[in-house]
Each structure stands twice: as structure tokens, then as C-alpha cells.
């Protein structure tokens, strides 16, 4: 992770003028984890803006950010995923070289094979990062994904923010 001083002048100026907002969610939607990971069903959620070749990319034309999501099949070869993250605040070369940096499906398949986790869910989810107005994300799309994960009986989710 870059320090503030390592960021380009353009990014530092953007951050200085960024309209940070606080959204109070009460009660905070958390649940105690009372299951062994070796028996848990795990899903992955990323903000890398990944989508399959068959799915549309995230809409770069939405000025405050595309709050939609893409369902990523659990059996997919993660390297074929396409990235449509619009942020220039990070070097995309690492993710392009290995998509597991942002959606570690292959690493979690290894954990499943070793018995470290019970099982990997049959689907995962990708959002677009850099959403300047997260109201729709908070009110609509994130709850939709949460309902899907609950329907899948997922016990734990690894969030990989990009």
C-alpha cells in the first residue's frame, strides 16, 4: 500500500478534495462467527471491477460510480476475468498479471483441498471500487449480494477492497 507521500500530485489533490461521507448503519450488520473455518462455506467479494467475458463491464459513464455487481461463477478460471475498474489511483499491472491478487479463488481452492476451509461457495461477487456516492450500493446492491450469500448458506466472506 502506497503512503500518501508516494501518491502522484494528481491523486493527492483528488484526495484533498474528495467528498468523504459518513453513512451510519444502525445496527451494524455483523454476526458472531461461531463455526470452525474447516467446516465453513466461504465466498469472496471484491471491488476490483471484475466481470466474465460474457458479462458487460462496469459503466464508466456513471460519474459517481457504478454501484452494480457481477456474479462470478465459482468454477471459473480466474485469469480470464476482465477488469473494468476505472481508478487510476493504483497500478493495474499486478492484477492484470494475476487476478488472484484481487479475487483469490485459486488460493481458496487450495485451502479447500487442504481442509482449511469447509468449502468454497459456488459463486462470488465483484463490485466496482471508487464509488463516490455509495448510497445505492448501501441501500440496494450490497443488500442484494448479502441476501444471495445468505441464501447460499455462506458462513464467511473474504472482502478484497481494491
How many angstroms separate the CA atoms of 109 and 120, rounded?
Answer: 7
Sign of CA dihedral 114, 99, 54, 51: positive
Report which of 24, 3, 37, 18 is spatially closest to residue 154, judged by C-alpha positions: 37
pLDDT of residue 62: 86
DSSP 101-147: GTS-HHHHHHHHHHTSSSEE-SEEEEEBS--S--HHIIIIIHHHHHH
Instruction: Give me the tens of pLDDT residue by residue for the chain, a chain 162 residues long.
Output: 567 788 788 878 877 777 666 667 677 667 788 899 999 999 999 999 999 999 999 998 888 889 999 999 999 999 999 998 877 777 778 899 999 999 999 999 999 999 999 999 999 999 998 888 888 998 999 999 999 999 999 999 999 988
* Residues 137 and 67: beta-carbon distance below 8 Å: yes
Q: Give the integer Cα–Cα distance in Å for 79 and 101.
A: 11
pLDDT for 117 equals 98
- Quick check: helix, strand or coil at residue 149? helix
Write down the domain spans for the chain.
36-160
Half-sphere exposure of 140 (CA within 13 A, CB side): 8
Question: What is the structure's pLDDT at 125?
Answer: 98
Distance between CA atoms of 136 and 152, rounded to whole angstroms? 23
Amino acid at each position: 500500500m502506497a503512503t500518501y507521500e508516494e501518491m502522484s500530485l494528481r491523486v493527492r489533490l483528488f484526495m484533498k478534495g474528495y467528498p468523504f461521507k459518513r453513512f451510519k448503519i444502525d445496527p451494524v450488520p455483523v454476526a458472531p462467527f461461531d463455526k470452525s473455518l474447516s467446516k465453513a462455506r466461504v465466498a469472496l467479494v471484491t471491488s476490483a471491477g471484475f466481470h466474465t467475458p460474457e458479462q458487460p463491464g462496469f459503466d464508466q459513464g456513471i460519474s459517481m460510480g457504478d454501484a452494480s455487481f457481477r456474479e462470478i461463477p465459482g468454477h471459473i478460471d480466474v485469469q480470464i476475468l476482465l477488469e473494468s475498474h476505472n481508478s487510476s489511483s493504483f497500478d493495474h499491472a499486478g492484477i492484470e498479471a494475476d487476478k488472484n491478487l484481487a479475487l483469490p479463488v485459486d488460493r481458496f481452492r487450495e485451502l479447500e483441498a487442504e481442509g482449511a476451509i469447509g468449502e468454497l461457495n459456488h459463486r462470488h461477487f465483484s463490485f466496482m471500487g471508487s464509488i463516490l456516492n455509495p448510497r445505492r450500493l448501501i441501500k440496494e446492491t450490497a443488500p442484494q449480494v448479502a441476501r444471495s450469500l445468505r441464501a447460499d448458506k455462506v458462513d464467511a466472506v473474504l472482502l478484497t477492497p481494491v
